[in-house]
Amino acid sequence: MVCSNALADCWQHSQASKLVHILQDHDDEEDYHAMFMQQALVQAGFQAKIIHGTEGLHWDNRGRLIDEENNQVQNRLKNTCMGNHAGTTA
């Protein structure tokens, strides 16, 4: 799988934190899209973590969404069969 340099360049100019969580359902097509986006993020100098469903996610006592490695989910990308939805959480 080869990542688009233009996509990586877009991420380099984003204001995303250095760790982006890629949320996806259990679906073969979403696997492909998530891995493609992960490759673009890594190429752009980000860490990218793929999460299936809500596996490993929980809320801390301050109401922040946390992953299984205790990283706050600040930037997330949701793959859907209708397209990609990027956003941030507070």
Distance CA 39, CA 77 (A): 13
Which secondary structure element, helix H or strand E, spans residue 21, and what is its range? strand 19-24
Phi, psi of 66 (to 5 degrees): -125, 140
Tens-place pLDDT, residues 13-58: 888 889 999 999 988 888 988 999 999 999 999 999 999 999 999 9
> Where is pLDDT greater, at 9 or 63?
63
pTM, to two decimals: 0.78
Residues 76 and 89: beta-carbon distance below 8 Å = yes
Q: 3-class SS at 46?
A: coil
How many whole angstroms separate alpha carbon 90 and alpha carbon 79? 20
